[in-house]
Amino acid sequence: MMIIMRPGAPKEQIDAVIAEIERQNLSSHPIFGVEQTIIGAVGDGHYVAQEVFEALPGVLSVQRISQPYKLASRQFHEQDSVFQFNGFSVGANELPIIAGPCSIESREQILGIAQAVKEAGANALRGGVFKPRTSPYAFQGLGQEGLEYMAEARELTGLPIVVEVMAVSQIKMMEKYVDVFQIGARNMQNFNLLRAIGETRTPVLFKRGMSATIEEMLMASEYILCGGNTQVILCERGIRTFETATRNTTDINAIPVLKKLTHLPVIIDPSHSTGDSGYVSAIAKAGVAAGADGVIVEVHHDPARAFSDGKQSLTPEVFAKMVKQVKAVAEAVDRTLVPQHERV
């Protein structure tokens, strides 16, 4: 439920409400506005009467949140959430672009790609160091060595780094390196991992599972939010359907639906949603036209020899062209890409 405080309610009254929430074995999630505070009471609270909170000093009203996902809902947080990063934001009018290889293969590879994508217009660098592969014999990533290369690439370019975390045991080590954790499609409902990520304060790029409904995606994100980590960026990356012409089926519908249901930023991954570099630019443009708050794509200097996902990776030259096209589409829907001068 949402407990809406009276404008100007003093700290003592807010603290008293939070104490009562915790006494009822619920978790409190306050949102401090300029004039008014709203406190979310989350947990199994169906047995708690609203009157318990309505009677407290400073409480204006109490509302139950109808959706099964609470903290992700617009009912809880009406305005779009905007998360600040190094030189740009996600969820505002300006759209960031995240780019980089599927897998970090060597120091030379990631440093070269990092410089190329920054020059073309990227605002953050993605790269995998632990790879969830279908075959146990496929390349599994460089691990901590890859993280060190990513950190060096950040020093070289100023681009924040986005790296997928696959296990609870990896979190402590990865927190020292990464700016944004990525939760991949295969781990969308790895609830132990999500709970552990919720206890961190590192922002999270949260990908939709390949067979997940929108509600299932939002319910899974709630595991992170209710742990206290509020910086969750949702990512539509295509779902598995009967169609086999592409790797996945891009659910363009999901973007405006998510924008209606949740305050969290929503970005699109045209690389995984198509699995074919020939379609990536088109779907990136479609996603931005549909309201996406950003784009994440895979870029490799030599896709034919990439250790993983070469088929869906753009060359730096094609990526640069895509950025220009995406910028034109963004401007057509009254948005824009992050300007060059704002990138560090």
| pLDDT tens-digit series, residues 48-67 | 889 999 999 999 999 988 88
Q: Is the pLDDT score of 326 beyond 90?
A: yes
Average pLDDT over residues 67-73: 93
pLDDT-derived band of residue 344, with 50, 70 and 90 as boundaries? very low
Q: Is the pLDDT score of 343 beyond 70?
A: no
Average pLDDT over residues 229-239: 97
- Residue 11 burial (CB count, 10 A): 9
Q: Is the pLDDT score of 4 beyond 60?
A: yes
Please identify which residue in the block is written with the tokens 């009912």: 75
Q: Report the alpha-carbon distance of residue 267 to residue 90 in Å, rounded.
A: 9
| pLDDT tens-digit series, residues 247-273 | 999 999 999 999 999 999 999 999 999
pLDDT value at residue 341 = 44
Average pLDDT over residues 143-149: 95
Average pLDDT, rounded, for the chain: 94
pLDDT value at residue 86 = 79
- Residue 341 burial (CB count, 10 A): 6
Query: Is 63 in contact with 4 (CB distance < 8 Å)?
Result: yes
Average pLDDT over residues 295-302: 98
What's the distance, CA 197 to chain centroid? 13
pTM of the shown model? 0.91
Q: Report the alpha-carbon distance of residue 238 to residue 248 in Å, rounded.
A: 5
What share of the chain in percent tops pLDDT 70? 98
**3-state SS class at 8:** coil
pLDDT value at residue 340 = 59
Nearest to 236, CA basis, from 257, 260, 222, 219: 257
pLDDT value at residue 273 = 97
Q: Which residues contact 155 (CB under 8 A, 6 or more apart)?
A: none
pLDDT-derived band of residue 222, with 50, 70 and 90 as boundaries? very high
- Residue 278 burial (CB count, 10 A): 11
Query: Is 143 in contact with 163 (CB distance < 8 Å)?
Result: no
Supply 140's token pair: 């599994």
Residue 262 pairs in a beta bridge with 73
* Structural domains of the chain in order of their starting residue, each with its CATH number: 2-63 (3.30.70.1140), 83-342 (3.20.20.70)
Supply 212's token pair: 């997940």
Please identify which residue in the block is written with the tokens 């995606």: 217
Distance of CA 318 to CAs 70, 71, 155, 176, Å?
Answer: 41, 39, 25, 33
Supply 104's token pair: 């970090």
Please identify which residue in the block is written with the tokens 């691990």: 143
Q: How far apart are the first and last CA of the chain?
A: 41
Average pLDDT over residues 81-90: 88
| pLDDT tens-digit series, residues 108-132 | 999 999 999 999 999 999 999 997 7
| pLDDT tens-digit series, residues 7-63 | 999 999 999 999 999 999 999 999 887 778 999 998 876 788 899 999 999 999 999
Q: Report the alpha-carbon distance of residue 239 to residue 255 in Å, rounded.
A: 13
Q: Report the alpha-carbon distance of residue 173 to residue 182 in Å, rounded.
A: 15
Please identify which residue in the block is written with the tokens 């505070």: 37
Phi, psi of 157 (to 5 degrees): -110, -20
Query: Is 63 in contact with 45 (CB distance < 8 Å)?
Result: no
Q: Report the alpha-carbon distance of residue 344 to residue 342 in Å, rounded.
A: 6
| pLDDT tens-digit series, residues 165-182 | 999 999 999 999 999 999
Phi, psi of 86 (to 5 degrees): -75, 95
Q: Report the alpha-carbon distance of residue 314 to residue 304 in Å, rounded.
A: 11
- Residue 139 burial (CB count, 10 A): 15
Query: Is 313 in contact with 127 (CB distance < 8 Å)?
Result: no
Instruction: Find the length of the chain.
Output: 344
